[in-house]
Structure formats: structure tokens, C-alpha cells
A = this chain, B = another copy of it.
Amino acid sequence: MVLSGIWKKQEGSKPALPQSITVSHSKEIPPRDIQDLCASVGWSRREPELIRRAMANSLAVVSVWDDGILVGMARATGDKVFNATVWDVAVRPSYQRMGIGRLLMEELLCELDAYQIPLVTLYADPGRDGFYRRFGFSVDPSGIRGMFREKQ
């Protein structure tokens, strides 16, 4: 539960992160905490055992905590060699606009870069691409298009 040292204090008018904020790269997050976080941002409920397995099978998981409360998370899947895909970037609403999303992305990309993965991808919700551009992501380079197949 330590900062990796790449995070810098937010500039401008945003409130500073509370001193009590800690970061973890452990995949073993209690599913109940993840359920609470997901509910806070309006995501559908997922079963605890499925959450546990998905975290264990992820390539990297970053979580941000404030005094025992999970206030943000992000994770990535991938082959640990050629590519990774970022999923589930979430910050509890009462902790948004403090730089926690940026902290999550910096910590996650730092871990992926340690594997020297050349390609990191993600799917940005509408209007969120500006946030990810800050970390070097671009939309549909060379005409490549993200496609989805969802089963109910």
C-alpha cells in the first residue's frame, strides 16, 4: 500500500488528495469492496466469486484506498508480452475531481510498462477520451475500429 513515486501533487484549483490516501497493486481486493465501488458509480452488480476470479486473472490491478474505504480502482488484462487492455477505471463519486483517476492510470501504466508491453488499449466511454489522451492514448489510429460483441 505505497505510492510508486510517479504521482505528483495536482496543479491548479483541484483539491489536493487527502494524506490518508494509499495505493495498492494487490489483486486480492475483497469482492464486497468492489461491489460497493461499482454500485457507487452505477455499474451493475457482479457476483463475489466472479469478481475474485476476474481479479486473479487480470494482468494488473490498482486500487486506491482512504482509511480502509476503496475509493478507486483500475485493472488490465493481457498477454504480459505484446498487449494489454485497461478495464474498469472507477472512482467513487465523492472522491472524483481530486486526481485519483490520474493516479490510478499512472500506477497501472507504470506496472504495464515494467513488462515492456508495446501496445496498451482501452475503450473510452463517450466524452472520456480527453482524459485518456493525457496518458498517450489516441482514438482509432490508422482507421482501426474498436468492436464489441455483448451477450445478455
- Give the size category of A's interface with B: 35 or more
Q: State A75–B126 Cα separation when bound (angstroms).
A: 28
Contact for A124 among B109, B118, B144, CB less than 8 A: B144
Q: Is the CB of B135 within 8 A of A149?
A: yes
Give the residue name and chain of the B residue nearest to A135 (CB). B149
- 19 additional contacts (CB under 8 A) given A57-B80, A83-B87, A118-B152: A50-B81, A50-B82, A54-B80, A54-B81, A54-B82, A57-B79, A57-B81, A58-B79, A82-B87, A120-B149, A121-B149, A124-B144, A124-B146, A137-B147, A137-B148, A138-B147, A139-B147, A145-B146, A146-B147
A residues sitting closer than 8 Å to B (CB atoms) are: 46, 50, 53-55, 57-58, 77-83, 85, 87, 109, 113, 116-127, 129, 132, 135-152
